[in-house]
Chains A and B, each alone.
Chain A
Amino acid sequence: QVQLVQSGAEVKKPGASVKVSCKVSGYTFTNYDINWVRQTTGQGLEWMGWVTPNNGDTGYAPKFQGRVTMTRNTSTSTAYMELFTLTSEDTAVYYCARRSGSFWYDPWGQGTLVIVSS
């Protein structure tokens, strides 16, 4: 079955960067965009952007433009999201999700908790 498996939890210092991975299985990696969405504690969902595995094209939400990079490795069917210059406000669970059709997401990865603390 289709699965997206993310890397484990991270604890980072303010000013550092974090790189989260999302390894897919059960379908052809290059056929679907991978999007990243985060969720701060007790809050709603916030879209960050996407990467197109077929050609590496990316699109980022304005809030994260210049502070995030989304990449992929087609040989390992893995997508990556790297967020720079972390602050405590970046403490959140980060999800990858496969995009279908008119931008709906199914399925999602299990989430990766990133804690930013001094």
Chain B
Amino acid sequence: SYELTQPPSVPVALGQTARITCGGNNIGDKNVHWYQQKPGQAPVLIIYRDSDRPSGIPERFSGSNSGNTATLTISRAQAGDEADYYCQVWDSRAVVFGGGTKLTVL
């Protein structure tokens, strides 16, 4: 079965840029979606189809996908961006989530 690999944690200094990766075999051939989940809350879609943003999601959030790695980039990180982030794809009639990355804003 298809697997997605994310780093368990990513630190970022306040106001700096964070990059969260999502690795998978030829993931560049798939549509990757990203979710933000804060403690005690449901996940929220922040990027779909690699790089599209739903309405209401700040432009500070962007995505890219090529080769074996998809990347979520968070510019000008804010304290409120502290959360778990999950990547997700559809593969062979199954939905696959990455293991999640905890973003810590220092």
Binding site for B on A (CB under 8 A): 35, 37, 44-47, 59, 61-62, 95, 97, 100-111
Contacts and interface: CB of A to CB of B under 8 A. Distances in A.
For chain B, the bracket of interface size reads 20 to 34
Given A102-B90, A104-B49, 17 more contacts: A35-B95, A44-B100, A45-B35, A45-B43, A45-B86, A47-B97, A101-B49, A103-B31, A104-B48, A105-B33, A105-B43, A105-B88, A106-B44, A107-B42, A108-B42, A110-B42, A111-B42
A46 B49 contact: no
B45 interface: yes
A14 to B, nearest CB: 26
| Residue among B33, B89, B93, B98 facing the most chain A CB atoms (10 A cut-off) | B33
A52 B98 CA distance: 25
A45 B100 contact: yes
A106 B95 contact: no
8 contacts: A44-B98, A44-B100, A61-B95, A95-B42, A105-B33, A105-B35, A105-B45, A106-B54
Provide the main secondary structure of the chain B interface. Answer: strand
A6 to B, nearest CB: 9
B6 to A, nearest CB: 9
Interface of B: 31, 33, 35, 42-45, 48-49, 54, 86, 88-90, 93-100
B98 A109 contact: no
Contacts of A46: 97
Contacts of B45: 104-107
Contact of B43 (A62, A102, A108): A108
